Amino acid sequence: MEWFDGENIFAVFSTLLGLLTSVGVLWYERRVPRRKRIGYRVQMDTAIGSDVRSGHTNVRLGLFDDDPEMADATLVLLRLENDGSQTIAVDDYTSPDIHGLTVTFTGRTIKGVAVTLPSAARHLMSHFTHARGLRSSGSMLTVPKVPLNKGQHFKLLVLLTGGEVGEEVTVSGGISEGEVVVNRAIAPDEAPPVFSRATRLITVLLTVCVVTLASIILLRDSTRPPIGCAKGELTVIGSTAFRPVAEELEKKYEDDCPGSEITVDLNGSAAGIRELAEAGARRKEGSPAIVALSDGPKSTGYAQLRENRVAVSTFALVVNDGVEVDGLSTSDVREIYRGDITNWQEVGGPDLAVRLVSRNAGSGTRDTFQRRVLQGFEPGASSTDCRRKDDTRARVLRCEFESTEQVLNTVAELPGALGYSELRSAAPTKGLHRLELDGRAPSVDDIAESGYPYREIEYAYTYGRPPASSLGSSFLNYLIRGSGQDVIRTHGYLPCATPEGLKVCAEE
């Protein structure tokens, strides 16, 4: 036997390290005063839906039975308390943001939150407001900077969907000269432990040392991508207006998840829907590795396609800068597209002929414009170059292009031109400006309240439900609930998973 081989040396080192650490912890507990500390614990995590993959079975009645969105609902009761030896003041929170703590419900989406306080701490309820940081977005809940005396606590009852019972719940944040940790205190309804905290900690440390030594023998290359990642190939098709978002999501997902290969090949909303349906029909079983993005809902006849609401898209009418008009009424717009108004003078503009620059058939942006603004179809194309009528019988000069970029460039170059675009795409284009509709400016910030009409939901469609372990399923989760929400916001869209977006997406 080799006494000085690597394993034996590591065994001695691990044992000494465990013993020294244990002694150090005991010394720290006895000699060093306890710091400020917020402890948290999950007191309840239970299924209330009928389709939760883990958790107890249940009987549903009333609201829970009527609402299909509650099929995978769960309830979590989270207790947060000052279990240190010092009072925690508002200024003790180190977060530069308005909130003090962040609660993350891994794999689940927050639908509602209720805060409860002991009767002796009712005065703290004024801290739990939206203005002070009580907000939720996707799987994250931000908690205000609440002052807590020693032993004070509050509870959060959170309604969630998606994911499973028992998935990780974490609380993060900073406390000056303190910490946020899993609560080790004994609740009144719990039996005291057989062993003291120090004894349990020493036992755990020694066990870790032994397990670490044993793992040397069994150690293998276990490099894995981050949680939620999947390997394979995926093609994203559909909306050209959503191209900037799709291309950035492709890069970020591939960077975060090695082994994934995503191809973005956008060809218009209607074309993407048809291609997905055809690819699914060719397969004998399963879902093809395709996600189709669409500006607005799919048309009838595609029963196999599964709908996922992604974000609120805001669109805008755009006009050449030579037309000094800041806004139109929807009735004006309809008259222009019918050919009843053919010169900008008729709506307070210069003496210029109106030229309509539109998207081709199959465009989700065009379909949304027809449904939301015109409430009817656009007239047929009467020009190929947007400068002269090829069809002299047409009442209005109108041309079509295959992409949003072509529409914007033509409107910017052509005097008197009027077109439409996704809001963010129009912003950096020189030579044109956006128009108000019925006195309402196109904006994402107050879309839920303004009533601005030219808006639509961006959908992501799959053929049936892709396997949970597939790249398609992972990418959708990344897009709808994960880091993809930050990308969506950056490009001027409102994610459906946010509280503001949820309201709009539910109404459409």
**Contacts made by residues 83-86, CB under 8 angstroms, sequence distance 24+:** 83/37, 83/38, 83/39, 83/151, 83/183, 83/184, 83/185, 84/34, 84/35, 84/36, 84/37, 84/38, 84/150, 84/178, 85/33, 85/34, 85/150, 86/34, 86/35, 86/36, 86/150, 86/178
pLDDT confidence of residue 27 = 60
Question: Helix, strand, coil: what percent of the chain each, to 5?
Answer: 30, 25, 40
Provide the 3-class DSSP secondary structure of residue 75. Answer: strand
What pLDDT sits at residue 11?
62
User: What's the pLDDT score for residue 389?
Assistant: 93
Residue 80: closest CA among 186, 182, 173? 182
The pLDDT assigned to 223 comes to 41
pLDDT in tens, 135-160: 999 999 999 999 999 989 999 999 99
Whether the CA torsion 96, 97, 102, 104 is positive or negative: it is negative
Question: What distance in Å separates the CA atoms of residue 497 and residue 503, rounded to the nearest whole number?
Answer: 9
Parallel, antiparallel or unpaired: strands 305-320 and 432-434: antiparallel
pLDDT in tens, the chain (508 residues): 445 555 566 666 766 776 676 666 556 555 454 578 999 999 999 888 776 665 566 666 666 666 677 778 889 999 999 988 889 999 999 999 999 999 999 999 999 999 999 998 889 999 999 999 999 999 999 999 999 999 899 999 999 998 888 899 999 999 998 999 998 655 554 544 444 455 566 667 667 766 665 565 445 444 444 457 899 999 999 988 888 899 999 999 999 899 999 999 998 888 999 999 999 999 878 899 999 999 888 888 899 999 999 998 888 999 999 999 999 999 999 999 999 999 999 999 999 999 999 999 878 889 889 999 999 999 999 999 999 999 989 999 999 998 889 999 999 999 999 999 988 777 778 999 999 999 998 887 777 777 888 988 899 999 999 998 899 999 999 988 888 888 988 888 888 888 888 888 887 6
Residue whose entry in the numeric block shows the structure tokens 């970029």: 405
pTM of the model: 0.48
3-state secondary structure of 468: coil
Residue 65 pLDDT: 63
What are the residues whose beta carbons fall under 8 Å from the beta carbon of 115, sequence distance 6 or more?
A: 125, 128, 134, 154, 155, 156, 157
Q: Which amino acid is at 352?
A: L
pLDDT of residue 60: 66
- What pLDDT, on the 0 to 100 scale, is given for residue 10? 62
